[in-house]
Amino acid sequence: MTMKYAHLAWLLAAVALANTACAATPASLRGHKQAQVGPRPFYLVADMDPGPLKTKLQQCAKGPFYRTDFSIGHRGAPLQFPEHTRESYQAAAAMGAGVLECDVTFTKDKELVCRHSQCDLATTTNILAIPELAAKCSQPFTPAHGDTPASATCCTSDITLAEFKQLKGKMDGFNPRAQTPLEFILGTPGWRTDLYSQTGTLITHAESITLFKQLGVKFTPELKSPQVAMPFDGMSQQDYAQKLINEYRAAGIPANQVFPQSFNLADLEYWLAQAPDFGRQGVYLDDRDADPAFDPMDEHSWHPSMDQLKAKGVNILAPPLWMLVTLDSQGRMVPSLYARKAKAAGLDLIAWSLERSGPLAGGGGWYYQSVSDAINNDGDMMTLVDVLARDVGVRGIFSDWPGTVTYYASCMKKR
> In this structure, are residues 69 and 218 in contact, taking their beta carbons and an 8 Å threshold?
yes
What is the structure's pLDDT at 78?
A: 98
Q: What is the mean pLDDT of residues 2-13?
A: 47
In this structure, the number of other CB atoms found within 10 A of the CB of residue 143 comes to: 16
Identify whether 299 is part of a domain: yes
Give start and end residues of each alpha helix (H) in 312-401. 337-344, 380-386
CB-neighbour burial class of residue 20 (10 A; exposed 0-12, middle 13-18, buried 19+): exposed
Classify residue 368: in a domain, yes or no. Answer: yes
- Domain assignment of residue 129, yes or no: no
Please state the φ and ψ torsions of residue 215, each to the nearest 5 degrees: -80, -15
- Tens digit of each residue's pLDDT (9 = 90 or more) over 133-176: 999 999 999 999 999 999 999 999 999 999 999 999 999 999 99
User: What's the CATH number where 261 sits?
Assistant: 3.20.20.190
Mean pLDDT of the chain: 93
d(CA 261, CA 277): 14
In a domain, 264, yes or no: yes
pLDDT for 25-34, tens place per residue? 444 444 569 9
| pLDDT band (50, 70, 90) for residue 2 | low
Residue 18 lies in a domain: no
| CA nearest neighbour of 404 among 351, 338, 334 | 351
pLDDT at residue 37 greater than cutoff 80? yes
What is the per-residue pLDDT for 173? 97
The number of folded domains in the chain is 1
Q: What is the mean pLDDT of residues 299-316?
A: 98
Range of the domain at 225: 39-118+190-412
Q: Which residues pair with 258 in a beta bridge?
A: 219
pLDDT for 83-96, tens place per residue? 999 999 999 999 99
156 located within any domain:
no
Which of 103, 87, 280 is closest to 202 using CA atoms?
87
pLDDT at 23 over 60: no
Instruction: Determine, yes or no, domain membership for 233.
Output: yes
Report if residue 338 sits inside a domain: yes
365: left (phi over 0), alpha (psi -120 to 50) or beta: left
238 pLDDT higher than 80: yes
Choice among 1-15, 106-120, 375-389 with the minimum mean pLDDT: 1-15
Q: Residue 120's closest CA among 179, 164, 76?
A: 164
